[in-house]
Structure 1
Amino acid sequence: MGALQRQQPELLHLSSHFLSASAAAIRSASSPQEAFSLFRLRLRRLRCLPPSSDPFNSHAAVFTLKSISSSSSSTASLIPHLHAYLLKNNLLSNVHVSTSLLHAYSLHSPNHADLLFDEIPNPNLVTANTMLTSLCRTGRLNAAVSLFDAISDKDVVSWSAMIEGYMCHGRCTNGLALFREMMEIGEIKPDPQMLVTLLSGCTSVGSLQSLCKSIHAYAEKHWMQMNEQLATSLVDMYAKSGCLRNAFIIFERVPQRNVTHWTAMICGLAMHGHGEEAIAFFNKMLYLGMRPSVITFVGLLNACCQSGLIEEGQKFFYVMVEEFGFEPEIWHYGCMVDLLAKAGRLDDAYAIIRNMRIEPNIIVWTSFLAACKKHKNFEIAEEGIEKVLGMEISSDNGALYTLISDLYALGGRWDSVKRVRKLMDEKNVRKIKGSSFIEALSTRAL
């Protein structure tokens, strides 16, 4: 035993390069699995040394946890193994290690995050913010408010987390009230990300245009850098509120525009029926060498649909698949079905539905059936009706049941009309105004 103790300083000296190099390798690992493998290799190589004599052990643990946190849920099973090792070797007393473990649990297992937070001996502000973000993300707002109120040294991350929690769970009024409270206190200044959160969360607020102007004015007054997210959010929200001139002004002032800025303008123009202008924007984007995204094509096809540009829509759908290699998503198919069906080309619209590579959803079928009703064609709608009735339909979607009942009446199928009405009564369906595919599409966030 004494010989081993005499050898430890020499071993530590000889291993110092490996210690630091292995920690750096874990930090730059290309995947969570690689980071975890490097961490295990590191432990096997250093069995002769106690963890406390390794100055890089806590750093290696933090880097490994960060790698796992940034990945999908497929690596979540690794977290308990790391937790056990950290607990066994008393590394959780290091606040950076315990906070990294808390962050990993908060993303993959919030219940375990709750238990761990109560056990951390000396949590700091970063630890509290990590737990606050977890509570807000999972919708436990009452617990989040209690923790937020208990944080004495709140920073911009604390306020942002609580505001975002309100916004993401439909409590925009609370979020705006908290933001005003922060501004009145005056100790914390909002950053661009907080303004983006406010804009993104208030799409359902009636005074969206005034909110955009207020946030825009604040950013200008305080010389805030118009980063990619803030510029995109302002362009998108101004466009959604119908203030296309202001959206264009913001767009023109962005020094290095990327595809998200162009897409925001195209979607905004499409939403308000400016199909030709949206296409012109798209063509200019291509001329400048910008590669469109799948969302760009959603906006472009939406523009063609809103303006009845059938040939253009078909051309852009072909370009998206054949020239840019994008796999059509439900939104692209839905636009094409809506475009053709509204123009009375029901056979072509139905052909798209039959040949879709993914299962058509209720929104696509509703768009098609509404066009069948408009053009008084029950025969082509009949097969679609039976498919829709076999799907799970929300009790709030009374308009869809009414549409199906009207189509059966159009075909003289009165027994089926009675069946649908009875089904509505059984499911306590509320007869509220329905929305078209394009209306649903217009709410899609960039």
Structure 2
Amino acid sequence: MQSLVNLSNHLIKPRNHASCWFVQNFNSWVKAIRNAPSPHEALGIYCQMQRQSIRFDSFSMLLTLKSCTQLKSNAVIQHLHAHILKLGFRSDLYVASALLNAHSTASLEDACVLFDEMPDKNTVTWNTMISGYLRSGDVKRARLVFEEMPLRDIASFSAMISGYVQNGNHKHALLLFRSMVMNENEGIRPDGGIAVSVLSSCARMGTHGLLLGKSVHGFVVKNHWELNVELGTTLVDMYAKCRSLKGAARVFELMQVRSVMSWTALICGSAQHGCSRAAFSLFGKMQQAGVRPSERTFTGILSACMHKGLVEEGRKYFKLMEESGMEPTIQHYGCIVHLYCKAGLLEEAYEVIKKMRHEPDIYVCESFLSACMKHKRYEMAERVAEQAMKMVKPRNDDRLYSLISDLYALGGKWDDADRVRNFMVKQNARTVKGSRFVRTDSRMLTFHLSLGNP
């Protein structure tokens, strides 16, 4: 096993604790680990303590473990594990729990071995294993551990429900929440964190989740829970995504304190429902309230412009974002390119593509190519066609390649059209169509020809 002395040569040496290298004061060392600004620096301090033969106790090992867990390095965790065994801290439940958590982030297999060997387990260790399985996407194993627990607490249910939500298993998240509401689980009742997870699950179900989301909201009101920023924002987001913009607006108005995420949730919801003027009004009120828009806020506002084809407004907000010092992301560029394409402003759309600080993604390219087809600007399509074909293989997006082939044919580039179709055949595209266009002496005939790979 690689020694930490060698490992430490690759680490950042602590900048703010230089005096600790020469002071043989145990408390100073422990404080240095606890206050280290990064896990790398905490590990560097730990290595230096070993070099200077500073004696460790269970508390200093606990702090080191908690800091180094963020590294998710199996080599580092294994070394710390060996050191803990050497010091005889294996029976310390706090150290053992921290070690189990560290292993669960670096190597779930090692965490399972340690968990099975632990003579004393508590709800913290059981919950750690649940979280470890859920992080790896193994929902079934997580539920088995959950069911085997001799005693569950609120954290057990919270981990299980949020794990279901993150893995897209909304039905089981809602069923487990229902069992808590019906008081079927050792008297453990849901808290605000669990309500947030369940509401997020409802939001991902779209209109199908609205009735369930309203039920959760009713539970919140019935229990007189405070409508804090997190819970309020989640409710706004749920109602908006479940196509109840009025419900989202009502919750928003009831919130005493709002964050940028609260404003953004309602702005994005308004844009999603085609209420662009409402989105613009909210954006103005947000600025008046002194709340600085986020990247996602601008995505929502540009999306509102895009859906309604509001070119001047789109230009205005895109410029405002740049003037505020925020670098546009691929989502922002995608919105403005699609807006220009929708309005037939292909030269402006292409200028944006050229100036993008990011490589344009397939959606930006496809939006531009489709606009070239719609507005019969076949020569412009050539500027982006070859770039688009480098991004995706025909077998993954045969529709795009068919579009490019047709654009070449309509532009009179028959050799290029044949080249694209032949490439599709060689790459085993799912459906390869021959050119829809065949040139005769004075006219162009249109037809479809399948070339196999049904």
Both proteins in one fold, TM over 0.5: yes
Q: CA offset at residue 91 of structure 1?
A: 1.5
Contact 2:205-2:242 at 8 Å conserved across structures: no
Contact 2:228-2:257 at 8 Å conserved across structures: no
**Cα separation, partners in 2 of 1:114 and 1:403, compared to 1, 3 Å:** farther
Aligned to 2:390: 390
**Alignment partner of 2:140 out of 139, 142, 145:** 142
**Cα separation, partners in 2 of 1:287 and 1:72, compared to 1, 3 Å:** farther
Aligned to 1:196: 196
Aligned to 2:441: none
Task: Give the Cα–Cα distance (whole angstroms) in 2 for the partners of residues 429 and 396 of structure 1.
Answer: 11
**Cα separation, partners in 2 of 1:360 and 1:252, compared to 1, 3 Å:** same
**Cα separation, partners in 2 of 1:158 and 1:301, compared to 1, 3 Å:** same
Task: Give the Cα–Cα distance (whole angstroms) in 2 for the partners of residues 428 and 170 of structure 1.
Answer: 28
Amino acid at match of 1:167: V
Q: CA RMSD in A?
A: 2.8
Aligned to 1:28: 35
Q: CA offset at residue 330 of structure 1?
A: 0.7
Matched, 1:338 2:338: yes
Task: Give the Cα–Cα distance (whole angstroms) in 2 for the partners of residues 430 and 130 of structure 1.
Answer: 50
Aligned to 2:62: 62
Q: CA offset at residue 370 of structure 1?
A: 2.2
Task: Give the Cα–Cα distance (whole angstroms) in 2 for the partners of residues 40 and 92 of structure 1.
Answer: 20
Contact 1:102-1:116 at 8 Å conserved across structures: yes
- Partner SS, residue 351 of structure 1: helix
Aligned to 2:279: 278
Matched, 1:85 2:86: no
Task: Give the Cα–Cα distance (whole angstroms) in 1 for the partners of residues 115 and 407 of structure 2.
Answer: 57
Amino acid at match of 1:96: Y
Aligned to 2:228: 227
Amino acid at match of 1:196: V
Aligned to 1:11: none
Task: Give the Cα–Cα distance (whole angstroms) in 2 for the partners of residues 404 and 151 of structure 1.
Answer: 58
Q: CA offset at residue 343 of structure 1?
A: 0.7
Aligned to 2:179: 181
**Cα separation, partners in 2 of 1:34 and 1:234, compared to 1, 3 Å:** same
**Cα separation, partners in 2 of 1:421 and 1:225, compared to 1, 3 Å:** farther
Amino acid at match of 1:102: L
CA offsets per residue over residues 381-418 of structure 1, 9 Å max, x none?
Answer: 12322222222358564543454454345435566279
- Partner SS, residue 334 of structure 1: helix
Contact 1:395-1:430 at 8 Å conserved across structures: no
Task: Give the Cα–Cα distance (whole angstroms) in 2 for the partners of residues 268 and 41 of structure 1.
Answer: 53
Specify every segment of 5 or more residues in structure 2 that has no aligned partner in the other structure, as ranges.
1-23, 434-454
Specify every segment of 5 or more residues in structure 1 that has no aligned partner in the other structure, as ranges.
1-16, 52-56, 432-446
Contact 2:33-2:64 at 8 Å conserved across structures: yes
Amino acid at match of 1:298: T
Aligned to 1:238: 239
CA offsets per residue over residues 312-365 of structure 1, 9 Å max, x none?
Answer: 22222222122x211111111111111111111111111111221111111211
Task: Give the Cα–Cα distance (whole angstroms) in 1 for the partners of residues 153 and 431 of structure 2.
Answer: 47
Task: Give the Cα–Cα distance (whole angstroms) in 2 for the partners of residues 194 and 125 of structure 1.
Answer: 18
The count of corresponding residues between Structure 1 and Structure 2 is: 405
Amino acid at match of 1:428: R
Aligned to 1:308: 309
Contact 1:396-1:430 at 8 Å conserved across structures: no
- Partner SS, residue 316 of structure 1: helix
Question: Relative contact order (alpha carbons < 8 A, sep ≥ 6): 1 or 2 greater?
Answer: 1
Identity between Structure 1 and Structure 2 (%): 42
Aligned to 2:19: none
Task: Give the Cα–Cα distance (whole angstroms) in 2 for the partners of residues 364 and 343 of structure 1.
Answer: 15
Contact 1:68-1:76 at 8 Å conserved across structures: no
Task: Give the Cα–Cα distance (whole angstroms) in 1 for the partners of residues 270 and 241 of structure 2.
Answer: 9
Task: Give the Cα–Cα distance (whole angstroms) in 2 for the partners of residues 21 and 282 of structure 1.
Answer: 50
Which aligned pairs between 1:324-403 and structure 2 lie closer than 5 A? 324-393=324-393, 395=395, 397=397, 399-403=399-403
Task: Give the Cα–Cα distance (whole angstroms) in 2 for the partners of residues 363 and 105 of structure 1.
Answer: 40
- Partner SS, residue 357 of structure 1: coil
